Amino acid sequence: MENKDQYILYEDTDIARAARCLKAMSHPLRLKILCVLGTNAISVQDIVDQVGTSQSNISQHLSILREKNILGSKKEANRVYYFIDDERMLLLIKMMRDVFCSTH
Check pLDDT > 60 for residue 83. yes
SS3 string of the chain? CCCHHHHCCCCHHHHHHHHHHHHHHCCHHHHHHHHHHCCCCEEHHHHHHHHCCCHHHHHHHHHHHHHCCCEEEEEECCEEEEEECCHHHHHHHHHHHHHHCCCC
**CATH class of the domain at 11-99:** mainly alpha
With cut-offs at 50, 70 and 90, classify the pLDDT of residue 44. very high
Boundaries of every domain in the chain:
11-99
Please say if the pLDDT value at position 17 is more than 70: yes
Give the confidence band of 73 by pLDDT, cuts at 50, 70, 90. very high
pLDDT band at 1 (very low <50, low <70, confident <90, very high): very low
Q: Which pTM was predicted? A: 0.82
What whole-number percentage of the chain has pLDDT above 90?
Answer: 51
